[in-house]
Structure 1
Amino acid sequence: MARRRMVVKVGSQVLCESTGGLSAAVLAGLARQIAALRADGWEVVLVSSGAVAAGVGVVDDAGFDNPVTRRQVLAAAGQVRLMATWGLHFADHDLAIAQVLASKSDFQSRGHYLNMRGCLEGLLSAGLLPVVNENDVVSVTELMFTDNDELAGLVAAMVGASHLCLLTQVAGVLDAEGTLVERWDDETHDADALLQRGTSKLGRGGMHSKLATARKAAGLGIETLVADGRDEGVLAGFADGAARGTVFPAGGQASSARRWLASMDGHTLGAAVVNAGAEAVLTDPAKLASVLPVGVEAVEGEFLRGDVIEVRASDGRVLGCGRSQYDHAEARAALGQRDMKPLIHYDYLYLLD
């Protein structure tokens, strides 16, 4: 039987009342649905926003002039309340939870990535329910995820999930006329035409990020749903193939290395700028090509062997990313040279579509 593993992401707008506090009814309902999935043999990872919103009910934040400090304090206080509340609701179903706080650096290094994946696999093997959130207390602006939709997509790829459910406060993705798109198809639907960038009042996410995450996850072989988080039967319907919302069909399977590299998009530590000839070879769908030093005209940033770096065209366009076989000093020394080992071998190269 194929692995049945679902990552469920729920945002602040779903979890919180209009006044900003956590909604006991919503958390209880989601805990009930996840417990039913577990009883049916599913493994579940929950990605839960809400720490900052929960902190508003704990801390008087009126005296904070620095918005970063305010967010850190609210997250530190609110994460305790958020986990305690989830713990109480899951305890009603004899489920124990485990907290996992992540930052962007956990996905930048292959070693950190494998360490976090090993932790999540261990928690699932032990029968625990991992509850993942961004570590807002230590994340600085340049190392913050776009939002927890992005984090959920990365976690789904990391653990090899078969399903990803992004819960929101609307029925799913709506077209220009406000009609629900029940099944997404890139050839039929134009993402840029449908959406304008927007974020929620209680969190950083919006439908734009859900659409971007869903399309990327589906491309990595993960069946993805964007749906109403207050629909009592949303998770069971998705698990049974009768989803209510917008389904993004899985587009095939991806290797562990490809999933990791795909998660690095936008989170790289440096860059290799290739010339026009190298770009033509790399982007030829009929060829499997590595990034060779002879085709690299510049190296940017500081990185170590094994770190993921961006691959860019000479005009600045991002072509993809890959695992470097050189550190930054070695890469600069090898620029333009022939008969050298690849800077990025094609087995560890992820090119954007």
Structure 2
Amino acid sequence: MTQRIVVKIGSQVLCDKQGALNREVMASLVLQVAGLAREGRQLLLVSSGAVAAGSGIAGSRLERIADPVARRQVLAATGQVRLMETYRALFEQHGLTVAQVLASKSDFQTRRHYLNMRGCIEALLGAGIVPIVNENDVVSITELMFTDNDELAGLLAGMVNADLLCLLSTVPGVFDGDPDDSATRCIETWDPERHQLEDIVQRGTSALGRGGMHSKLAIALKAARLGTEVVIADGTDPDVLLKVVNAQSAGTRFPAQGEASSAKRWLASADGHATGAVTVNAGAETALLDRSRLASLLPVGVEDVEGSFSAGDVIRIRNAAGKVLGCGRARYDHEEARRLMGQRGQKPLIHYDYLYLLK
């Protein structure tokens, strides 16, 4: 079976200290991608760098734009052209065609939009074309922006059922302590039994990007739970992708933990767009979290219904303490859910096939 790889390239990897595109680094990454493609692998790139690249184009014209939101949109609009033209020229040298895909968070909100975008990307991969995806910063609004392109890459890895997700930045991986401490070591393989997110991550964001190691680690853990192997590595290493694919020492590797269906992968991407919520009792919570059984959420286990939603909408599931357990696709609308709440012998409010639990 053809190996499918999603590669996210951060802005600090692509740009020099002045914010201009680093063509040498880009050429090295394109060379590696082209080599892997020749071996029969399918690759999808998630590339940052448009806003940074735009900074080197707009120049003094930016002084005329007082609104910071509009300024960022102009940088993204002008920089995306240069970014894609650079990729096109570099990939053309290796006989490969690229395609631009601009995504917004709302594209993952509804099942119809999600499947439409997935169909396009699947067609591109099947035709041997390299999709290059970036957030559509021109139309994205603050409350619906991705945390960063790490989040977008994680969602795309789930969408295309990727075997491997590579998150490339300028750090060599996840450290087991303060990176400035000489005793600190890079974790080669993440062990969920030994390592905990909050115990390890040094919070903070990079100079050129919106995200940080905390974001990368959270995305990596989520993608691994959904069945995609993840590696966080240094994108400036000239052989980083070859090392990762050939299981050589490079960065921090997160082994895949089982598999998830297409529907559950979509739910994992849509949980931030829930239109309502239900509160479940202790018995339902225990049943849902029991890994030894495939439990659906029945109306008898529901104690409260919040918000207005239609059948087919994504709703959150909370326990009595208010903790979010997961989300799922509602079989009933909010009125029917309230009417059936607490009743035995009814069909599931959320069937197991359309249920996604956070842990």
TM-score w.r.t. length of structure 2 = 0.92
Q: What's the CA shift for 1:63?
A: 4.3
Match of 1:42 in 2: 41
Which sits farther off after the overlay, 235-244 or 164-173? Answer: 235-244
Match of 1:239 in 2: 245
Match of 1:55 in 2: 54
Q: Is residue 10 from structure 1 mapped to residue 16 from structure 2 by the alignment?
A: no
Contact 2:8 2:153 in 1 (8 A): yes
Query: What are structure 2's unaligned runs of at least 5 residues?
Result: 178-182
Q: What's the CA shift for 1:294?
A: 3.2
Match of 1:66 in 2: 67
Contact 2:110 2:270 in 1 (8 A): no
Rate the CA distance shift 1:39–1:197 in 2: closer, same or farther, 3 A.
same
Q: Is residue 316 from structure 1 mapped to residue 322 from structure 2 by the alignment?
A: yes
Contact 1:51 1:78 in 2 (8 A): yes
Contact 2:2 2:40 in 1 (8 A): no
Q: What's the CA shift for 1:69?
A: 2.3
Rate the CA distance shift 1:125–1:65 in 2: closer, same or farther, 3 A.
same
Distance 1:293 1:202 in 2: 48
Rate the CA distance shift 1:313–1:53 in 2: closer, same or farther, 3 A.
same
Distance 1:173 1:110 in 2: 34
Distance 2:23 2:197 in 1: 34
Distance 1:86 1:264 in 2: 30
Match of 1:325 in 2: 331
Deviations 1:169-223 (A, max 9, x none): 0111112143111111111222211113211121111111111111111222212
For 2:329, give the aligned amino acid: R
**Secondary structure of the equivalent of 2:305?**
strand
> Cα RMSD (Å) of the superposition?
1.8
Match of 2:157 in 1: 156
Which sits farther off after the overlay, 84-93 or 302-311? Answer: 302-311
Distance 1:206 1:170 in 2: 10
TM-score w.r.t. length of structure 1 = 0.94
Distance 1:21 1:118 in 2: 34
Query: What are structure 1's unaligned runs of at least 5 residues?
Result: none
Q: Is residue 277 from structure 1 mapped to residue 277 from structure 2 by the alignment?
A: no
Q: Is residue 348 from structure 1 mapped to residue 354 from structure 2 by the alignment?
A: yes
Distance 1:89 1:175 in 2: 37
Match of 1:140 in 2: 141
Identity, % of aligned positions: 62
Contact 2:271 2:314 in 1 (8 A): no
Match of 2:189 in 1: 183
**Secondary structure of the equivalent of 1:7?**
strand
Rate the CA distance shift 1:143–1:320 in 2: closer, same or farther, 3 A.
same
Match of 1:21 in 2: 20
Deviations 1:33-52 (A, max 9, x none): 10011011110000001111
Distance 2:93 2:308 in 1: 50
Deviations 1:247-291 (A, max 9, x none): 111222222222222223334333222233322332233443222
Contact 2:176 2:187 in 1 (8 A): yes
For 2:326, give the aligned amino acid: G
For 1:253, give the aligned amino acid: E
**Secondary structure of the equivalent of 2:168?**
strand
**Secondary structure of the equivalent of 1:314?**
coil
Distance 1:63 1:282 in 2: 56
Which of these residues, 238, 255, 274, is aligned with residue 249 of structure 1?
Answer: 255
Match of 2:108 in 1: 107
Distance 1:335 1:64 in 2: 54
Contact 2:275 2:314 in 1 (8 A): yes
Which sits farther off after the overlay, 153-162 or 214-223? Answer: 214-223
Rate the CA distance shift 1:33–1:288 in 2: closer, same or farther, 3 A.
same
Distance 1:268 1:336 in 2: 22
Contact 1:272 1:299 in 2 (8 A): yes
Match of 1:77 in 2: 78
Contact 1:97 1:131 in 2 (8 A): yes
**Secondary structure of the equivalent of 1:321?**
strand
- Aligned residue pairs total 352
Distance 1:330 1:213 in 2: 35
